[in-house]
Amino acid sequence: MVNLETPLKNLPHVTPKYAKTLEKLGLLTVRDLLLYFPFRYDDFRNTSPVSDDLIGKTITVEGKITKTKLNRIFKKRMTVVEATLEDANGTELKAVWFNQPFILESLAQGATVRLSGKLTRDGKKFVMSSPAWERAAREETNTGRLVPVYSETAGITSRWIRWQIKPLLPLAQNLPDILLGELREKYNLYDIYTAIVQVHFPDSREKLVRAQKRFAFQEMFLVQLKSLQVKKQWEENNSLAINFDEKLIKNFVDNLPFKLTDAQRKASFEILKDLEKPKPMNRLLEGDVGAGKTVVAAVASLQTISAGHQVAIMAPTEVLARQHYFSFSKLFEKYGINISLLTNSYRELNNFQFSIFPAMPDLAKRDNFQSIFNDKILNDKKNNRKYLLDNLAEGKINLIIGTHAIIQKDVKFKNLALVIIDEQHRFGVAQRAALQSETMSISDGDRKTIPHLLTMTATPIPRSLAIAFFGSLDLSILDEMPKNRKPIITKIVPPGERKIIYEFIRSEVGKGRQVFVILPLVEESLAETMADVKAATVEFERLSKEIFPELKLGLMHGRLKSKEKEDAMEKFKNKEYHILVSTSVVEVGIDVPNATVMIIENAERFGLSQLHQFRGRVGRGEFQSYCFLFSQSDSKRLSAMEKTTDGFEISKIDLGLRGPGQFFGTVQSGLPDITMENMTNVKLIKFAREEAANILAIDPQLKKHPPLADALKKFSEHIHLE
């Protein structure tokens, strides 16, 4: 007997081939299939005889097949099925399908059928191209209703999925409902069975919205339960209380070559106050590109190190880790702080560099020591890692900066008190899940405490979305740019104006400035056959030989090894290249103050938030900077980039245009499409959080709510909330 746990491969119409394809979609059991929701719906509800008034509209027509025909176009290896349908008024309609000869078996002459699609005219004939179809005697499944469309893969169509799901719907009555009756009544939510039926085969648009609301609330409820549990678990730990040394911090800030913004001061104060508590900080520092997160992190690091403790800073890539290493070395130049860089290209243990700055006020002596140190230690491949780790374990290294290499098992600290994770969203889901738990179990001399944790992101997220997504964190937001920054001038450039921009680039290079050129691809591939898409390698050759033969160009893309990427960036920073041609691997946070021009090819292919991130690679120095969006299409969407340089404003526009699913990447977040579509519903998030807090107050371990505990366990396996 079929039940929720029945493997799909045991169902009558699921052949081994289908079973294998379903497994690729993560569908193994009947339960999985029932919870595989449509991502959109075709509205075929308008059932009507054919008429001129309906030309261009999507309708459903019922009638009898009067004749059929199969054409074979051998040159194109194509088959064309034609069927003529006569509706209730005797009007004829020609339907055409390409490469689907099997349709003739079901739509034989004399059969009464329903066809759904867009009505057009070809001369005097009414025509439908590739309409949905089914026998009129059958219950409306593929035509005549709101028809669900599912994410498909080779060998599995939405039509096939619909036929499998429909007879299984009664089994949804056996699904445990994790939302209690009183909760459903309070928020006018469907029970689980009704919601499943209406989300797959909705009776109306209103019932569909209500079903989607139920599942959005359910997922958000689980998000908030998990978030609150993580927060509570975190707060049950102890950390080292680090007193705020006002004199030290004031001296550091006063001697900076720039003035802190009010937002930087506020964020720094919030973090310093968190560090004073005996409970571990868990704060997200969110700021626009160029808003100055690094110096805020430096304030926290300096306070921690001056109190006699160690700090670890993690970045997602070696290039960004090296950037931080040089930035912090410069910021702490006069403080005698020992700083190390440790990166590990996965299994390549020799692909790392580090240095230790001794506490020597005499810079000449220090530089001399550094030279001797590098000669003796760095060239000794066998001992350099061990030397660094020994110094770290003994507490001689105050600040270590690196990739996830610094949380490997052989890395031990003496008194680690602060961990800073930069660009946390760029770590993979599995890595992010490990980072916080690793932070709690980092090998440290003090077993009774865990480090304070500060995560940073340069992706501006509207506050309501940040609360929904990062509910277990406290938020500090840098929404103010440094006052000496000149707004970047942004312009959409149509194909006919390229030459003007190329001349402008020559004039900028003539002034000693540098240029980024960003491409969406590494090289031309079968999947990207569009003639107007330029590959980075091809564009590099074209620019080098045809446009700027007198200039020096560099190339960077994702297929280069880490060391090769670093070399390309170093040469660009050292002004060995006038122009750097790169794919989207150009790092967030990479600082080249001399670069004043950013060109983005095929700009329409990127989201606004991503374009804004690219734009943030220029405008980091004293010179006026420019961003040129080369676009093949007249995209109104891109005009937002011309109007504002405010990342928070752009993220709101991007959310409105693309939705939270694409903004975050639904797959990356682990949340279903329905939930992501409702992520901007502030009321829904607020109610879900309130109800999650209420239930945890009376049942912290959810022992009295087994179905909910089970659902939360499964949910936690698919998503991680910092």
d(CA 572, CA 509): 13
d(CA 615, CA 596): 10
Calculate mean pLDDT across residues 510-526: 75
pTM for this prediction: 0.73
Give 358's pLDDT tier (boundaries 50, 70, 90). Answer: very low
Query: Does pLDDT of 350 surpass 50?
Result: no
The pLDDT assigned to 653 comes to 82
d(CA 486, CA 392): 41
* Percent of the chain topping pLDDT 70: 84
Backbone angle region of 434, left / alpha / beta, with phi > 0 → left and psi within -120 to 50 → alpha = alpha
Query: Does pLDDT of 369 surpass 50?
Result: no
The pLDDT assigned to 570 comes to 84
Lowest mean pLDDT among 100-109, 125-134, 670-679: 670-679
The pLDDT assigned to 243 comes to 95
Which two three-digit tokens encode residue 26? 């993560």
Mean pLDDT for all residues in the chain: 83
Give 469's pLDDT tier (boundaries 50, 70, 90). Answer: low
Q: What angle do CA 165, 170, 175 make, to 5 degrees?
A: 95
The pLDDT assigned to 304 comes to 96
Classify domain 246-276+292-457 at the CATH topology level.
Rossmann fold (3.40.50)
Query: Does pLDDT of 36 surpass 60?
Result: yes
The reply to whether CATH 3.40.50.10860 applies to domain 489-644 is no
* Percent of the chain topping pLDDT 90: 47
The pLDDT assigned to 246 comes to 94
Give 607's pLDDT tier (boundaries 50, 70, 90). Answer: confident
Backbone angle region of 517, left / alpha / beta, with phi > 0 → left and psi within -120 to 50 → alpha = beta
pLDDT digits (tens, 9 = 90+) for 296-306: 999 999 999 99
Beta bridge partners of 348: 345
Give 660's pLDDT tier (boundaries 50, 70, 90). Answer: low
Give 193's pLDDT tier (boundaries 50, 70, 90). Answer: very high
Give 587's pLDDT tier (boundaries 50, 70, 90). Answer: low
The pLDDT assigned to 536 comes to 77
Q: What is the CATH number of domain 46-144?
A: 2.40.50.140
d(CA 500, CA 491): 12
Lowest mean pLDDT among 256-260, 445-449, 714-718: 445-449
Which two three-digit tokens encode residue 95? 């339907």
Query: Does pLDDT of 174 surpass 60?
Result: yes
538-551 core/surface letters (b: 16 or more CB in 10 A; e: else):
ebbeebbeebbeee
Task: List, by residue range, all CATH 2.40.50.140 domains of the chain.
Answer: 46-144
By DSSP bridging, strand 132-135 and strand 125-129 are unpaired
Calculate mean pLDDT across residues 611-627: 88
Task: List, by residue range, all CATH 3.40.50.300 domains of the chain.
Answer: 246-276+292-457, 489-644
Query: Does pLDDT of 699 surpass 80?
Result: yes
Lowest mean pLDDT among 220-224, 303-307, 404-408: 404-408
Give 522's pLDDT tier (boundaries 50, 70, 90). Answer: very low
Sign for the CA dihedral angle at 311, 315, 318, 324 comes to: negative
The pLDDT assigned to 442 comes to 59
d(CA 91, CA 51): 8
Q: Looking up tokens 């009544």, which residue turns up?
A: 185
d(CA 548, CA 539): 12
Give 68's pLDDT tier (boundaries 50, 70, 90). Answer: very high
Calculate mean pLDDT across residues 199-228: 92
Q: Which of 440 and 160 is assigned the larger pLDDT? A: 160
Give 208's pLDDT tier (boundaries 50, 70, 90). Answer: very high
Calculate mean pLDDT across residues 599-613: 88
Lowest mean pLDDT among 241-250, 639-648, 692-701: 639-648
